């Protein structure tokens, strides 16, 4: 059997594929963060908590209303998005004129409150959420056993990421959005309702987090700390990709998933830190991030 | 987080000073529940430990023994430095006499050292590392519920006897995971098995797929989970997804609490073999206690072994203090606790050894199939009772300095 640094190549393929799957979560979460930062200039620390909310909404839909996974996939992002819109209108909108730091502190506080409320109600062990029957089981590939559900995660997340990118870069709506962030006064003078645009953007950004939460529910235990565990990594991803760069966040998300996957094979103890090491290196060499534009 | 520490100290001190002047002296006792109230272990420890301690005080009826008991609690966030700082503040400033719970091995070792320095009492229920009664034992610390050696002897021994003679470990990368792997490896070797590999996973980890794939590739018959709390839950859940058990490999959850199994559900966890010293549905007494406990818990959850341990050790501690009529000398209180045999409704009769190890029976359980389970908390069936003198490490093998000579 061929080996690379003592690891069979076949095992390596498996690990790369898993890295790609984890990268899907990073990509979809960092995409939402990048959109929100790019258009609203808000460093949304509540993103992890809203991702967790997505998973909990899926669980609640099933437990209290008997609505399964596919319903949740559609409804949970709407619920989380609506919640985000309320947050934006009531609280965040007041901070646009202030320094980034205020937005960061506000959203961080919100994250702690949301997590605390869920922890108080549901404890930390987590709640069971089964993989939908259509996607249970798996494929025996030559190099690994690939659960169908994990394959679906990659497909779903890639589709959503590409669609979002297309809307923002290629449509008229996207063009308005980009213009509104460039020069809101001028765009408003043309009769475009800029505050509404920003509200909807925030709603959409956090709906992406809710969507990721539903995707995660059958894999991880649905527990109040799931967002706190992942959000710091996702922020590192956004920083490495370049704050506000939409395509950068998606590519970096998948790429860092791969790097983390490889670390888990060669030096597992470092797998929780490797992304931060890369972040430090990138910031030293390219402070605006890999895909960022320097102002 | 220090703000969370309840501080009715001045009042208590004032009350103490006033009562001291009056007739029959009343002994004030302050018990600190130092656990994880927000992190990965907070369902095992957390508020449940405070509820258990209160139930113990209620059952002891302190006023009949001339005691006045107060309970305070705090969150050590699974960080040794935070745990040690709170313990120090409690002992120095807040007149806390005894700390219990102490989940998380790294934190427990830190609290144990501070307790020795201040000559107070530390009864650990939640932490696993057997080093607490081994090389790092102190005259002020008792280890109450379980330890890594007992888990290794219980689950490890049982799995090897069932034919699982090759092992691969997923090990939480801190003192608890490492001691658990070490102690289980010793049991495997003694029973003629072999460890073919292991991987250290950062604590906490949410995605175990990569590590599970490595375990799958090793071809070992048993995958030993030397982890706890949400780490264990995630690894078991994802092992199901990757078809590990269907592929003929068995999972050995080396430290599994009933709250973990409840979270997984019997569908995912069925067939899992595990060792615990306590289960709510063991007998009439444990059921009665668990009902009282559940009434005070949000969501009506049943007590874990850790919660039962807090109840049992607070009861025993108060008995010792009532006899001594003082909490001043921690080492003397611990010596008294060791001299008195233990007896309570949850663990039955037991003893505390010279090294601080509390001895009672442990049980080998198997998680029920969904069809066998009659309710959301009906989780285990008992396979075997392992007598206390067999499941814990023999007194002379722990290298505890208190035992020599």
Smallest CA–CA distance from B218 into chain A, residue: A11
Q: What integer pLDDT is reported at residue A291 of this predicted model?
A: 87
Q: What integer pLDDT is reported at residue A4 of this predicted model?
A: 65
Q: What integer pLDDT is reported at residue B405 of this predicted model?
A: 54
Q: How many CB atoms lie within 10 A of CB A258?
A: 17
Alpha carbon distance B132, B83 (integer Å):
16
For residue B210, give the nearest of A219, A225, A264 by CB distance: A264
The answer to whether position A137 is within a domain reads no
Chain B nearest-CA distance from A180, in A, is 39
Task: Decide: residue B120, CB within 10 A, 0-12 exposed, 13-18 middle, 19+ buried.
Answer: buried
Q: Judge: B214–A125 Cβ closer than 8 Å, yes or no.
A: no
Instruction: Write out the H or E segment, with its range, that includes residue B350.
Output: strand B348-352
| CA dihedral of residues B232, B235, B241, B247 (deg, nearest 10) | -100
Contact B135, B400 (CB under 8 A): yes
Q: Which of residues 100-129 of A touch B (CB under 8 A)?
A: 116, 119-128
CATH of the domain at A183: 1.10.3470
- String of DSSP letters for A122-152: H-SS-B--PPPGGG-SEEE-SS-EEEHHHHH
Please tell me which residue, B236 or A221, carries the higher pLDDT value: B236
Average pLDDT of span B205-209:
89
The answer to whether position A8 is within a domain reads no
Q: What integer pLDDT is reported at residue A128 of this predicted model?
A: 86
How many domains is chain A built from? 1
pLDDT greater than 60 at residue B377 = yes
pLDDT greater than 50 at residue B229 = yes
Q: What integer pLDDT is reported at residue A96 of this predicted model?
A: 84
The answer to whether position A1 is within a domain reads no
**A-chain residues near B37 (CB < 8 A):** none
Alpha carbon distance B146, A286 (integer Å):
52
Contact A275, A258 (CB under 8 A): no
Q: Name the DSSP letter for residue B327.
A: -
The answer to whether position A290 is within a domain reads no
Inter-helix orientation angle B105-118/B175-190, to 10°: 110
CA A8 to chain centroid, in Å, comes to 32
The 10s digit of each residue's pLDDT in B315-348 is 999 999 999 999 999 999 999 999 999 999 999 9
Question: Tens of pLDDT along chain A (295 residues)?
Answer: 466 666 677 678 888 888 999 999 999 999 999 889 888 888 999 999 999 999 999 999 999 999 999 999 999 999 999 999 999 999 999 988 888 889 999 999 999 999 999 998 888 888 888 899 999 888 888 878 889 999 999 999 999 999 998 998 899 988 888 887 778 788 889 888 888 988 999 999 999 999 999 999 999 889 898 998 789 899 999 999 988 788 889 999 999 999 998 998 889 889 889 999 999 999 999 988 898 775 5
Average pLDDT of span B235-253:
89
CA A113 to chain centroid, in Å, comes to 20
Q: What integer pLDDT is reported at residue A137 of this predicted model?
A: 86
Alpha carbon distance B26, B68 (integer Å):
7
The answer to whether position A178 is within a domain reads yes
Instruction: Write out the H or E segment, with its range, that includes residue B359.
Output: strand B358-359
For residue A18, give the nearest of B41, B209, B265 by CB distance: B209
**Residues 6+ positions from A170 with CB-CB distance below 8 Å:** none
The answer to whether position A7 is within a domain reads no
The answer to whether position A212 is within a domain reads yes
With bands split at pLDDT 50, 70 and 90, how would you rate the model's confidence at B236? very high
Q: Judge: A138–B242 Cβ closer than 8 Å, yes or no.
A: yes
Q: Judge: B210–A229 Cβ closer than 8 Å, yes or no.
A: no
**A-chain residues near B242 (CB < 8 A):** 138, 145, 147
Ranges B12-21, B23-32, B325-334: which has the least confidence: B12-21
Contact A254, A210 (CB under 8 A): no
The 10s digit of each residue's pLDDT in A65-114 is 999 999 999 999 999 999 999 999 999 999 888 888 899 999 999 999 99
Q: Which domain holds residue A186?
A: 13-131+142-285
- Bridge partners (DSSP) of residue B274 are B365
The answer to whether position A25 is within a domain reads yes
Cβ contacts from A onto B, under 8 A? 114
Q: Name the DSSP letter for residue B154.
A: I
């Amino acid at each position: 059997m061929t080996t690379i640094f003592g690891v069979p190549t076949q095992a390596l393929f498996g690990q790369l594929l898993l890295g790609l799957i984890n990268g899907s979560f990073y990509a979809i979460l960092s995409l939402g963060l990048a959109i929100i930062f790019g258009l609203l200039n808000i460093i949304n620390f509540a993103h992890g908590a809203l991702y967790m909310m997505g998973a909990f909404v899926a669980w609640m839909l099933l437990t209290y209303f008997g609505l399964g996974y596919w319903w949740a996939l559609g409804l949970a992002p709407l619920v989380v998005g609506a919640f985000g819109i309320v947050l934006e209108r009531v609280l965040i909108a007041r901070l646009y004129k202030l320094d980034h730091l205020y937005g960061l502190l506000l959203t961080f506080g919100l994250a702690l409150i949301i997590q605390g409320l869920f922890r108080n109600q549901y404890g930390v062990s987590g709640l069971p959420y089964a993989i939908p029957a259509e996607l249970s089981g798996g494929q025996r590939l030559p190099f690994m056993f690939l659960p169908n559900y994990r394959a679906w995660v990659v497909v779903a997340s890639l589709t959503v990421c590409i669609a979002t990118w297309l809307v923002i870069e290629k449509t008229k709506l996207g063009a308005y959005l980009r213009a509104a962030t460039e020069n809101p006064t001028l765009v408003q003078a043309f009769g475009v309702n800029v505050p509404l645009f920003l509200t909807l953007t925030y709603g959409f950004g956090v709906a992406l987090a809710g969507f990721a939460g539903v995707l995660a529910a059958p894999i991880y235990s649905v527990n109040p700390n799931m967002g706190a565990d992942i959000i710091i990594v996702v922020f590192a991803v956004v920083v490495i990709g370049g704050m506000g760069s939409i395509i950068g966040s998606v590519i970096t998300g998948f790429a860092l998933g791969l790097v983390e996957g490889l670390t888990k094979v060669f030096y597992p103890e470092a797998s929780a830190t490797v992304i931060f090491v890369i972040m430090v290196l990138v910031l030293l060499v390219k402070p605006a991030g890999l895909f960022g534009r320097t102002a | 987080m220090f703000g969370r520490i309840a501080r009715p100290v001045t009042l208590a001190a004032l009350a103490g000073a006033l009562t001291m002047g009056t007739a029959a002296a009343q002994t004030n006792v302050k018990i600190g529940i130092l656990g994880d109230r927000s992190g990965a272990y907070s369902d095992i420890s957390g508020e449940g430990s405070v509820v258990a301690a209160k139930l113990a005080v209620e059952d002891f009826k302190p006023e009949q023994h001339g005691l006045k008991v107060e309970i305070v609690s705090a969150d050590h966030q699974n960080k040794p430095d935070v745990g040690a700082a709170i313990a120090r503040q409690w002992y120095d400033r807040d007149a806390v006499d005894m700390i219990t719970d102490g989940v998380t091995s790294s934190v427990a070792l830190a609290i144990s050292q501070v307790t020795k320095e201040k000559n107070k009492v530390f009864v650990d229920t939640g932490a696993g590392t057997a080093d607490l009664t081994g090389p790092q034992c102190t005259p002020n610390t008792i280890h109450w519920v379980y330890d890594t050696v007992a888990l290794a002897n219980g689950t490890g021994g049982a799995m090897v006897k069932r034919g699982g003679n090759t092992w691969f470990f997923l090990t939480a990368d801190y003192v608890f995971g490492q001691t658990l792997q070490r102690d289980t490896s010793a049991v495997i070797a003694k029973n003629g098995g072999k460890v073919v590999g292991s991987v250290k996973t950062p604590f906490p980890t949410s995605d175990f797929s990569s590590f599970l794939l490595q375990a799958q590739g090793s071809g070992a018959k048993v995958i030993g989970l030397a982890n706890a709390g949400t780490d264990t839950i995630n690894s078991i859940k994802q092992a199901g997804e990757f078809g590990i058990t269907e592929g003929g490999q068995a999972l050995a959850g080396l430290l599994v609490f009933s709250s973990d199994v409840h979270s997984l559900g019997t569908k995912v966890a069925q067939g899992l073999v595990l060792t615990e010293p306590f289960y709510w549905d063991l007998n009439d007494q444990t059921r009665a206690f668990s009902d009282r406990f559940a009434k005070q818990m949000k969501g009506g959850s049943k007590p874990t072994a850790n919660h039962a341990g807090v109840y049992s050790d607070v009861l025993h501690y108060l008995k010792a203090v009532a006899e001594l009529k003082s909490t001043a000398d921690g080492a003397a209180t611990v010596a008294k606790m060791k001299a008195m045999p233990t007896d309570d409704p949850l663990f039955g009769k037991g003893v505390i050894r010279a090294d601080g190890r509390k001895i009672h029976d442990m049980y080998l359980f198997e998680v029920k199939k969904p069809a066998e389970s009659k309710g959301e908390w009906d989780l285990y069936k008992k396979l075997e009772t392992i007598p206390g003198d067999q499941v814990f490490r023999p007194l002379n093998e722990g290298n505890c300095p208190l035992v020599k000579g």
